[in-house]
């Protein structure tokens, strides 16, 4: 079951530094495309990795699209040893990106973000400009559709 509220609350309670990307950021800007995963770019300091592991640990993260019998231990060391993780959690799919194509790492994501309220919590999301950079770099079919949506959202914002 996809439960983004649980993810936002867990990350907020642990004071994790992150920026929301992808479909959730698109939706918060006004897109109507459904999304079923939570994409985020996370800050990679030792303290933030500890907080991230603490926050998501109770949601039982495991590697998505890997055999369930494959052993996976989610902790600060695992996060430090890797960069990008596609996870399945009790709250749904969560993609942890230490580096985002077209954007860079957390400092660049933070610079290309804005604060919004999501589930009664302050959350950083990519701006339309930041999303456009990511979507252009990814270039998948759904990203190309999202680029069209970004153009529409910009026109609506300029006219509104």
pLDDT of residue 51: 98
Mean pLDDT of 127-146: 95
Residues 122-131: pLDDT tens digits?
A: 999 999 999 9
- Chain-centre distance for alpha carbon 21: 4
pTM, full prediction: 0.94
For residue 68, pLDDT beyond 90: no
For residue 160, pLDDT beyond 60: no
Residues 110-121: pLDDT tens digits?
A: 999 999 999 999
Residues 31-63: pLDDT tens digits?
A: 998 999 999 999 999 999 999 999 999 999 999
96-125 burial, b if ≥16 CB within 10 A, otherwise e?
Answer: bbbebebbebbebbbebbeeeebeeeebbb
Mean pLDDT of 129-138: 96
As given in the structure block, the two tokens for residue 146 are: 């999202």
CATH number belonging to domain 4-159: 3.30.460.40
Dihedral (C-alpha) 17, 109, 23, 96: value to the nearest 10 degrees? -50
DSSP state letter for 59: G
């Amino acid at each position: 079951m996809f439960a983004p509220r649980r993810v936002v609350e867990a990350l907020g309670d642990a004071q994790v530094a992150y920026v929301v990307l992808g479909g959730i950021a698109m939706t918060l800007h006004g897109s109507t495309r459904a999304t079923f995963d939570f994409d985020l770019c996370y800050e990679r300091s030792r303290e933030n990795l500890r907080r991230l592991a603490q926050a998501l640990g109770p949601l039982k993260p495991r590697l998505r699209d890997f055999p369930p019998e494959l052993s996976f231990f989610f902790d600060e060391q695992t996060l430090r040893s890797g960069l990008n993780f596609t996870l399945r959690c009790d709250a749904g799919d969560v993609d942890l990106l230490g580096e985002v194509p077209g954007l860079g790492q957390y400092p660049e994501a933070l610079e290309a973000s804005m604060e919004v309220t999501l589930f009664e919590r302050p959350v950083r999301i990519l701006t339309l400009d930041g999303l456009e950079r990511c979507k252009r770099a990814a270039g998948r079919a759904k990203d190309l559709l999202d680029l069209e949506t970004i153009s529409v959202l910009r026109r609506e914002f300029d006219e509104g």
